[in-house]
A and B are shown apart, each in its own frame.
Chain A
């Protein structure tokens, strides 16, 4: 009698380990490939995520410049060829030869279940020398706001398919009118 109980018990232990492993493996893979994290109303209503005072801009590049455009206003930021290359690849949704650091960062975010929520660009001192970007990330009930170079955040934003927001008064003050 006890021999049978031990055999059944051992079998059930092994079965439990196997089923448990498979169950969580599947759920981890789903969340890492789709990047879907539930967004609660608590999170979307946070003051930090308020978009008032910001406008959505289109990011493009030439060989050495990062260009943000909204209607007739354009802000150009000098950067390196590596950054423009990485941003263009992100816009085109391609990876050439090897992944750039921005491809790797996006992979890290996706596979650790972190969602890219927002990119907001502004100037610390109201001049072209003070440009910076805040990158907003979410993992569950936690929001992380990282100060970054605009080019780095832009490279990640175009990979995540999220809008790039620019502080409106800074954009209009420092941008050039391309329609006149």
Chain B
């Protein structure tokens, strides 16, 4: 009888130990920090008019509601000291957009064979119902506009372009390509220049594979093409360009 009682007590103790272990498996870690702050943007307001040339370039964009819109920019180049001005009267530009303007100026100056420190560039957006322009995807089109203005040329009025650009004039990928294409087509644009590999829109899906190797489970998560949409189905001539030199062949009037 005594042994039975002792065994019962031992079983109850072990069981309760395990129950207690289960209750304690979840640990809660909490983040707690202060409030955010925003840095002001300061620009030099001095702008001296000398010899200058102005071009206009179309810039397809994606609005806050996710729809495509066709905006434009007026780009003026004049003799100067290497300044790049962005108009803030109508709309603000995010820091990464400002940086893309500066890089665009560098690429355009290299393409045109001029010293970037000998010109000033001003960029004025024509955009409705927007407070802020974000992202670097207008960089390539801005570069084309600056390059055209430097040589005293004009950009065709039936062409638009999207793409990032680097100092060497290479054009890089952007988001919202389908919305931009539709917006350009709806506004009567005939040709739309896009970055390499973006002549079609790829939607991806997650692909997971697992295998056992020496008692270790190895799982790999990759992303593969789910469906592909050809941009030309939007009713516009879509052309991929990989650098500013290629783009200028199409862009110049």
Residues of A within 8 A of B (CB): 5, 8-9, 12-25, 28-29, 32, 40, 42-43, 45-48, 63-64, 76, 78, 80-81, 95, 97-99, 104, 107, 111, 125, 127-129, 141-147
Contacts and interface: CB of A to CB of B under 8 A. Distances in A.
Contact of B96 (A64, A76, A128, A129): A64
Contact of B172 (A32, A46, A129): A129
Contacts of B96: 64, 80-81
B220 A145 contact: yes
B196 A129 contact: yes
B43 interface: no
A112 to B, nearest CB: 9
19 contacts: A8-B9, A16-B14, A16-B19, A17-B23, A24-B24, A46-B216, A48-B218, A48-B220, A63-B95, A64-B96, A78-B136, A78-B172, A81-B95, A107-B29, A128-B170, A129-B173, A142-B216, A145-B220, A147-B223
Contact of B222 (A5, A21, A81, A147): A147
Nearest to A8: B9
Nearest to B206: A147
Nearest to A82: B96
B33 A21 contact: no
Contacts, number: 134
Contacts of B222: 147
Contact of B13 (A15, A42, A111, A129): A15
Give the secondary structure class of B's interface: mixed
B214 A46 contact: yes
Contacts of A146: 221
Interface in B3-38: 5, 8-9, 12-21, 23-25, 27, 29, 31, 33-37
B164 interface: yes
Given A13-B13, A45-B214, A128-B170, 19 more contacts: A13-B15, A16-B12, A16-B19, A17-B17, A21-B24, A22-B24, A23-B21, A25-B24, A32-B27, A46-B216, A46-B218, A47-B213, A64-B136, A95-B33, A98-B31, A107-B31, A111-B27, A129-B173, A142-B219
Contacts of A43: 216
B166 interface: yes
Interface in B22-73: 23-25, 27, 29, 31, 33-37
Given A28-B27, A63-B99, A81-B96, A142 B217 contact: yes
Give the secondary structure class of A's interface: helix
B167 to A, nearest CB: 9
Interface in B143-195: 164, 166, 170, 172-173, 195
Contacts of B9: 5, 8-9, 12
B215 interface: yes
Given A32-B27, A144-B221, A97 B35 contact: yes
Contacts of B17: 16-17, 19-20
A21 B21 contact: yes
Contacts of A28: 24-25, 27
B11 to A, nearest CB: 10
Contacts of B8: 9
A111 B25 CA distance: 11
B197 interface: yes
